[in-house]
Chains A and B, each alone.
Chain A
Amino acid sequence: MAKKTYDLLFKLLLIGDSGVGKTCLLFRFSDDAFNTTFISTIGIDFKIKTVELGGKKIKLQIWDTAGQERFHTITTSYYRGAMGIMLVYDITNAKTFDNISKWLRNIDEHANEDVEKMILGNKCDMEDKRQVSKERGDTIAREHAIPFLETSAKSNINVEKGFMDLAQAILNKTPGKDSGGHSGGVDVHKQEATKSKCC
């Protein structure tokens, strides 16, 4: 425990239907790159990224899950430990949006009550193939009082912001977040990341 390279550890989970781009979003965030040729995730994958938020070094432990129904027994066991859950759908595939409510029920059933959530409508660079309007995304997010963003892992739109907003929301309610920081406390209202870098 002597050489601690971070102040806080946040566990995040990515869920959503198969093929919506969960792995691509994570790859964009952790490696700042895009790869069209990802193999399908089987079971659960894992990435680490350390970011700076409100003067704190935060280690994000991000779990990437397989989308297909079959893997739910494996993946739902990670809901419990997650502090933040990123729920992803694909704006070019209406079915993945329709399933949002199913995923939300899953969260209610398996995750901690106070888990922070965020909905991402991915692939927003493919406007010509859009099936789900941004308004529909806004509406469902408002109904459930969950922050919502449209993202593109390919064009690097809102990916960083999505993860950082989620981390910020967790930080905001972390007890003792003000202690140990430098220069007298953290501005909890500050919404953006000051800086982020990969570990």
Chain B
Amino acid sequence: MAAHRAKLMRCEELLSKDKIPFKDLRELCFQGCPHESGIRAKCWKLLLNYLPLRPADWPDHLKKQRAAYMHFIDEIIIQPGTDRAGQGNSDVTFEDHPLNPNPESQWNTYFKDNDMLLQIDKDCRRLCPDLAFFQNATSYPCLELVTNETEIETLRKRVEYQVLKSETVQRNRSGITNMIARKRAKSMNAEYYTLSEGQEAHWEVVERILFIYGKLNPGQGYVQGMNEIIGPIYYTFASDPSKEGQENAEADTFYCFTNIMSDIRDNFIKSLDDSECGIGALMQRLMEILKKKDLALWVRLDQQEIKPQFFAFRWITLLLSQEFSLPDVQRIWDSLFSAEDRNEFLLLICCAMLILLRNDILNNDFSTNMKLVQVITKYRSPVHGDVIQLPYTEQLQQNPVIYFHLLSNRCELVYKFSYLRSKGFQIEH
């Protein structure tokens, strides 16, 4: 407790300096950011290069960035939505119409965007289902979009319209009736359920960020899994105790997410899978590290043909966000965001996770081992008692990677940079 208080004070002290010493901040956050008084949110914004290092510059900078994000919303959602609503669904101009085969056609873009939107919608609805948070209404919805009077075709309406529109088509085939109620009682549509007018669930905010990101990065668009990267960031910012933090969680999340993506976007690009910067190379690198650190374990996985694609693909793509509970993910990300080389550090954690399973893996068959590496969180299931005993193996002592304590409710990454280095672990750059 005393140690925690000391860390908290040290953090507050760092954050109150005229110019925050980035290196010190990184070393401190690597050991876990305190979550009190929104410190974690602040630290992440700094570590992700969103906030400038001089706190005096924050108000201006934030104001500008947040206004720019509002501008994106306006340009990408509000303006086109207003035009469309004004036009009505039947009005079709001669220049552009739904069957226009021209790839430049606005309608063509509209249909393509709808595909992306439906995919985002599907994934955001099932974001962190164990947590009530994302289903709850935000206290700060985007007012332009949720007020009753607006005629704007919002994302919500677009999804609804897409789904309900095609519903009418299928009934036509039966010849019994051409018309079915366009608007069903919302409760009937459990799969497309939304909160009532004027309210917005947190997952809808995440959906909007992803849609805007996808529109601004057309080469990449939306790829499944991005929702799992954005989830913990948005959660952290939206649970900031300050009103200012909560109110702007959406814009701030957008920028921090964009920054993380600039580091890891190659993992999401299919055509790079087999290139030297894609996820294939990272998985290969993970296995090389493992081979160096724990040859017996590497041989075992190799013999059983448990390929990194079966587990590490997800670990790496999602930065471990599906492997642990949200508080643990936050703790791991404190270190990850502080690391000098994030990709390398992530691989070290993955490697440590494997080594911690070594005794089981060396003794089990393929199927059992597959389950082990796929459901790593089993190791922190409360069934095992408060503190889960992890094998601190001889192998691990001789060959420390990162020692990963998994306690029932929080995980501790015990190695410091200096310690890693002293043990011959290179964290380069």
Contacts and interface: CB of A to CB of B under 8 A. Distances in A.
B43 to A, nearest CB: 27
Contacts of A133: 170, 173
Interface stretch (B27-35, B44-52, B223-231, B296-304): B223-231
Contacts of B169: 94, 131
A33 to B, nearest CB: 15
Counting chain A CB atoms within 10 Å of each CB, the highest count among B268, B274, B317 belongs to B317
A128 B174 CA distance: 13
B317 A42 contact: yes
Contacts of B322: 39, 42
Contact of B129 (A37, A129, A130): A37
B186 interface: no
Interface in B121-145: 122-123, 126-130
B309 A43 contact: yes
Given A40-B225, A42-B224, A94-B166, A70 B314 contact: no
Interface in A73-87: 73-74, 77
A130 B191 CA distance: 13
B367 interface: yes
Interface in A101-155: 128-133
A37 B223 CA distance: 20
Contacts of A43: 309-310, 313-314, 317
A198 B127 CA distance: 29
A67 B404 CA distance: 33
B119 interface: yes
B381 interface: no
Interface in B314-328: 314, 317-318, 322
Contacts of A18: 119, 122-123, 224
A172 interface: no
A39 B126 contact: yes
A38 B129 contact: yes
Nearest to A48: B367
A193 interface: no
B129 A61 contact: no
B82 interface: no
B273 A74 contact: yes
A130 B170 contact: yes
B48 to A, nearest CB: 22
Contacts of B127: 39
A180 B147 CA distance: 71
B370 interface: yes
B158 interface: no
Contacts of B268: 70
Contact of A74 (B223, B313, B370): B313
B374 interface: yes
Contacts of B317: 42-43
Interface in B268-323: 268, 270, 273-274, 309-310, 313-314, 317-318, 322
A66 B223 CA distance: 11
Contact of B170 (A70, A77, A131): A131
Nearest to B273: A73
B203 to A, nearest CB: 12
B325 to A, nearest CB: 13
B83 interface: no
A44 B129 contact: no
Interface string B204-226: 00000000000000000001110
Given A37-B126, A74-B273, 12 more contacts: A37-B130, A40-B228, A42-B224, A42-B225, A42-B228, A42-B322, A46-B371, A48-B370, A70-B224, A70-B270, A72-B270, A73-B274
17 contacts: A19-B122, A37-B130, A38-B126, A39-B322, A40-B227, A40-B228, A42-B322, A43-B309, A43-B314, A44-B309, A44-B310, A46-B310, A46-B374, A48-B367, A70-B270, A72-B270, A128-B188
User: Which 3 interchain pairs have the tightest Cβ spacing?
Assistant: A37-B129, A43-B313, A131-B170
